[in-house]
Amino acid sequence: MATEVKVPTLGESITEATIGEWLKQPGEPVKADEPIASLETDKVAVEVPAPVAGVMGAHLAQPGDTVNVGATIAMIEAGAAGAAAAPAAPAKAEAAAPAPAQQAAAPADGEQVMTLSPTVRRLVLEHGLDPSSIRGSGKDGRLTKEDVLAAASAAKDAPTPAAVPSTPAPTAALPEIGGRKEERVRMTRLRQTIAHRLKEAQNSAAILTTFNDVDMTAVMEARAKYKDLFEKKHGVRLGFMGFFVKAACQALKDVPAVNASIEGDEIVYRDYADISVAVSAPNGLVVPVIRDAQTLSVAQVENTIGDFGKRAKDGTLKLEEMKGGTFTISNGGVFGSLMSTPIINPPQSGVLGLHRIEDRPVVRDGQIVIRPMMYLALSYDHRIVDGREAVTFLVAIKNAIEDPTRLLIDL
């Protein structure tokens, strides 16, 4: 008797997904709740668990296919191939001594694969690596993307055995003209969604960007003075984002239009700040939301952002964690960006872009001095936010960062 594997409910308003990869092939034994496939949605990668134990049957959809919620994508046949194979091995132990060792190793490999995130698992398969031979640097020894890439690089640099040249190179099938190569890769659903939403924002909103700069001296001094005590007490490093999130919450209260949105012919104003923070994930940029950020301490903000960053890398962010933000902060400075014009995330009306910190000459009290400066960029929907309000908002951010005491006394 066969059991159908259906596309699970993926969250509110999510009706379809794309098959990312099959983690189990036909004929392989599966355990109940073991991941057998990964799906790519508009936001994150989602694993499909086996509804029952048995043997993997036919795949009814292939990687790259779009499937609807509730659709049948595979079958699991009754049986326990994995369990049946184990008792048979001792009976032929003398005739085939290597067989038990191979069978014993198979479950261990299966358990290792079960702990891999979809992104890491995909990299392992692409590079043909044995995950059990790679030392994980993540929590509880979990493999990260960087661990796999480092192992792949080490394998590439290692001396190649004589038998290996007979194996075709992965790029052999690519068109080659005069030594130049091209490769066509299907856009992931996440990348397609990013492209669609960014273009939609440009088409539907009147986007304008205003700039300012901020002297980071006070925040950097505070961070240097308290970072050890902060980390010891709260278990997380004291970064810059905590200061900027709190400064943004205060500025949004002073300039509520930046925290508002247009719905039909109405403007919706909010007395809360759900701050979306742009986080880099293996398949693209995601924006999980810090709910009610105005009520959180700097430590709580830093803990939340740290958790988002880790789970974005592992591909375990939840769909509901990336919905409903009212304002976005994007820190391109971590990649070395000097200045940018970020695009708003509809239906939001504003996004704050942070950039790299660099020493520049500035005038203080009539003297030219060197200060660690950062450019700030506020992109906003000019249909709802006036230029005066945009400048006022940026100046409020600048004042709070240059004098963090303002954050304590609500100035």
**Catalytic residue numbers, as ranges:** 382, 386
Residue 395 burial (10 A CB sphere; 0-12, 13-18, 19+) = middle
94 Rama sector, left if φ>0, alpha if ψ -120 to 50, beta otherwise = alpha
**Contact call for residues 158 and 139 (beta carbons, < 8 A):** no
**Contact call for residues 18 and 10 (beta carbons, < 8 A):** no
The letter for the amino acid at 187 is M
Number of other residues whose CB lies within 10 A of the CB of residue 35:
20
d(C-alpha 281, C-alpha 42), whole Å: 13
Beta bridge partners of residue 375, listed in sequence order: 213
d(C-alpha 399, C-alpha 396), whole Å: 5
CA 254 to chain centre: 31
Residue 255 burial (10 A CB sphere; 0-12, 13-18, 19+) = buried
d(C-alpha 387, C-alpha 37), whole Å: 49
Residue 291 burial (10 A CB sphere; 0-12, 13-18, 19+) = middle
